[in-house]
Every structure is written in C-alpha cells, then in structure tokens.
Amino acid sequence: MENKKRYPPFSCQMRIDKALSEAVHLPLNSCSRYIIISDCHRGEGGANDNFLRNQHLYMAALNYYIAHGFTYFELGDGEELWENRHLSRIEESHQDVYCRFETLQKQCRIYRIYGNHNMEMKGMLGEAMILDNCEGGRDICMIHGHQADFFNSVCWKLSRFLVRYFWKPLERFGVSDPTSAAWNYKKTLKYEKCLDNWTKEHDCYLAAGHSHRPRLPADGSLYLNAGSCVHPYGITGIEITDMQLTLVKWKMATRPDLSLFVAREVLIGPVGIT
C-alpha cells in the first residue's frame, strides 16, 4: 500500500495514511476466520441507548462467532461517549457484552479500534489495523472512517459538544443530527468518494464503518463498510473466511409455527479477495 503522493494539509487522505502508519498488523490467509463489526454505540441503558433495541441480535451473533472460531474486529464507535460521559456506566449496563470480550481477549481473538464517538478511548485502543495478505493478493486496511470526515475528526470536540447538548435532546423528538454521515446522504456520498479514491491510489482494500451504510467492493472500488449495530431491523457485519468476503445481516425471523428466532442472512457474497 506504499504511496509517495503528497497530499494537501488537512486532507482526508493524509489523515487515513497517518492512522495506518501506526496500525496493528495481523495475518490474512485461507485459514483466517474474521468478523468485522462497527458502530455499536453502546450507551448507558437509557432511552437514548440506540444499541438496546438490537442487543439480543448482537449477543446471538457474538455467541455464534465465538463458538465458530472467529476473531472479532470492532471498527470504532463501540461505545457512545458523545451522548454519555462515563465508560464505567456503559460497561455496567452491558456486562454480558464485556464479559464475552474478556473471554475473547484471553484467547487473543478480539481487536478493537476507536472512532469519533469513543475518541476518549484513544489511550486504550488503536486507530487502525491491517490484514497482511499471505496469499499474494491485496491487503485489507481497517479504520473507523471518521478520518475522511473533517468535522468529525479535526473538529471532533465541537461535534461532541453539539451532539451532547443540542442533538441528543432533539433526538427524543425524532430529529436526526444533519452533521452525521449516518443521517446525511450527501455527506455519505462525499465520505465514500474520499475512501474510494484512497483505495484506487493505494491499490488496497479499505474497510470502515462510520456511515452505517454496509457494502462490499463493487464496480472497481476496493472500499467496504461493515454497517452498524443500530439499524432499525437488524445488525450487519462482514465475515472473512476462505479468503472471501461475505456481508451478513442478523435479524428476527419467524418459523412456520410462528415462533421467533434470530436469523443470519447473507446480503452479498461471498466475494473473493484478490
């Protein structure tokens, strides 16, 4: 992914390169079993905790991946620390999640990075990861994605202030934050264009979250997005097995006898890693 091109100051490409320069490196081969999750936004368990509505889906998925030998990647915004101030309260409200994390940590099967909504964990988490392709193909670089969003990276403290004291109260009345890439379609397109351009310049896969818009590489682009765990009707993630990418969704489904169960649905793939 070496690229000697000089970027203008404060460009999104420069911020992405800087993040990846200090990335954790892990192997990628035919035996690798990875699950990429992003944007859980775990809160304190109150009315503004958007993770709560999908917690049962998330736990079912997490238990599945633990049982099937996957290594868990979380690409930022695991905790919602813009609307909430105390990490300890989030951990207390979601003890079952962090208990599973401890299990994975003991087995060296969990790697998490920070995003703009849990930037306060910068001293605890890294900013990027790179899967080094051992089979001769392209590497997969992983970031949260806020690096491509000036307002939520360089000006993140101002963004946090607005979310915490302005948009959070309005959220109770159904008003969405227009500065967020997750709710602003034009901003999402601009964000994705930046990441697309980066992959073309570096000839490398780039996995992210931030926009909450799941996708796999297509039409010549090497950009992929894990989506989020706060969609209204499910959670999404990207599985990596047998050197292939699969975009999956976990949702509630109904059996013929009308009983409910948590279902894993393949949205796109598998797509080979080239």
Q: Where are the alpha helices (DSSP H) in the chain?
A: 12-20, 55-67, 87-93, 95-106, 150-153, 156-162, 168-171, 185-202
Read off the pLDDT of residues 80-113 as tens digits, 9 standing for 90 and up: 999 999 999 999 999 999 999 999 999 999 999 9
Read off the pLDDT of residues 136-145 as tens digits, 9 standing for 90 and up: 999 999 999 9
pLDDT at 170 over 70: no
Which class for 186: exposed (0-12), middle (13-18), buried (19 or more C-beta within 10 A)?
exposed
pTM of the model: 0.89
pLDDT at 3 over 60: no
For the chain, domains (ranges, CATH) are: 12-272 (3.60.21.10)
Give the dihedral of Cα atoms 224, 228, 35, 208; nearest 10 deg.
30
How far apart are alpha carbons 274 and 268 in whole angstroms?
Answer: 17
pLDDT of 160 reads 80
Cβ neighbours of residue 258 under 8 Å, at least 6 residues apart?
none
- Among the listed ranges 6-20, 81-95, 178-192, 239-253, which one has the minimum average pLDDT value? 178-192
- How many other C-beta atoms can be found within 10 angstroms of the C-beta atom of residue 167? 19
pLDDT at 177 over 70: no
* Structural contact between residues 270 and 245, judged by C-beta atoms closer than 8 angstroms: yes
Q: Which amino acid is at 195?
A: L
